[in-house]
Amino acid sequence: MVERHLAKVDVVSSNLIARSIFYPIACVISVHKHFLFSTFSFFIESMYEWSKLSGVKWMDAWEDRFRGNPNFVIEILKGGKSSRVRVFCGTEKEAAAIVEQFGGSVRKIQRAEWANPVVKDQPLLKIRDVFGVTTEADPKKLKKLAAENPAREILSIPAEMAFGTGDHATTSTCLRLLVDIGRSRPAGWSVADLGTGTGLLVIAAKKVGAGEAYACDFDPYSVKATADNLVRNGVEGVKLEEKDVLKWKPRKKYDVVVANLFSTILIQAFPVIAQLVKPGGEVVISGILASQAWDVFTAAAQHGFGFPTVIRKGKWVTARGGWMNDLVEKGEV
């Protein structure tokens, strides 16, 4: 049914297909094949489609917003002036979070509407001189990538339902900051990754010197993807939980907390983050639309945090900071 519906429109953009209104319908179907690939292992019966009608002139803005999300599609509707933006989500909660941020509506899709998997190669994402992040999972191809990039550690994060194969500006900027943190701290620092997605950030943290590590996500797909990715990348010693950060009363503190969460979630999460960060600890926050950064930094300050490092990539803002009193002590604010 989805395929039949799509056959009536031109699919303009998806992270799985080239941006072309002339792209064959076979490719349209392949988008949907991808969904089953990610869901096969979970044997769930339904997923959720978030959609919103929008003017074609906003197409680039939507692409920026959802860049890196493999389950994002834009279709131009008949007449060519309006488009339908869609994101396929594994949980109703995930779809609701998009509604909260961008409006639109959510539809439940039954398993019968899905098809078979498709995999698309993405270029190696280079993080400083340390990592090469790939969606490749084939051991032979990974070996080849390692041989071609001898100075880099190759991280294998196949595109799945979870967010975070590294090609989103928020993820790649967090990765770069984690590499910097790894260089600035003696090995063995503890880390908590809130909203871990595919687990890429906690995996990278472990590789650049983190000792004790914790990762959570409220999305069961993310937790499963992270568990797989930890094994795939040879990382041990990460405590992984399915948890809603906003309902958490943490009992442990960490040297570094990384939270790539949308602005609205971050703002609500600062009371929890404040309980998680050790004195002298650091915080990396991301997922912040530039237009919402002021609100996020204001909320952060109300909980004692300051952010001397602010990096903007397109519409997205990422920041590295810590306790305001530490920053004042070190003369960093």
Ligand X SMILES: C[S@@+](CC[C@H](N)C(=O)[O-])C[C@H]1O[C@@H](n2cnc3c(N)ncnc32)[C@H](O)[C@@H]1O
Enumerate binding residues for ligand X (CB under 6 A).
94, 162-164, 170-171, 174, 195-197, 200-201, 216-219, 222, 244-246, 260-261, 265, 287
Nearer to ligand X, 130 or 201 (CB): 201
Half-sphere exposure for 103 (CA within 13 Å, toward CB): 5
Nearer to ligand X, 94 or 326 (CB): 94
Nearer to ligand X, 13 or 196 (CB): 196
Nearer to ligand X, 11 or 155 (CB): 155
CA dihedral over 132, 135, 137, 138, signed as positive or negative: negative
What does each C-alpha distance from 210 to 133, 152, 213, 271, 314 come to in angstroms? 18, 18, 7, 24, 29
Nearer to ligand X, 62 or 218 (CB): 218
Shortest approach of ligand X to residue 318 CB, angstroms?
10
Shortest approach of ligand X to residue 112 CB, angstroms?
25
Shortest approach of ligand X to residue 81 CB, angstroms?
31
Shortest approach of ligand X to residue 225 CB, angstroms?
9
Question: Taking the CB of residue 328, how many other CB atoms lie within 10 A of it?
Answer: 11
Shortest approach of ligand X to residue 259 CB, angstroms?
8
Shortest approach of ligand X to residue 141 CB, angstroms?
22
User: Which residues, in sequence order, are CB contacts of 112 under 8 Å at separation 6+?
Assistant: none
Shortest approach of ligand X to residue 157 CB, angstroms?
9
260, 170 Cβ separation under 8 angstroms: yes
Shortest approach of ligand X to residue 314 CB, angstroms?
14
Nearer to ligand X, 6 or 289 (CB): 289
Shortest approach of ligand X to residue 319 CB, angstroms?
14
Nearer to ligand X, 118 or 205 (CB): 205
CA distance 174 to 282: 13
Nearer to ligand X, 74 or 261 (CB): 261
Nearer to ligand X, 46 or 82 (CB): 46
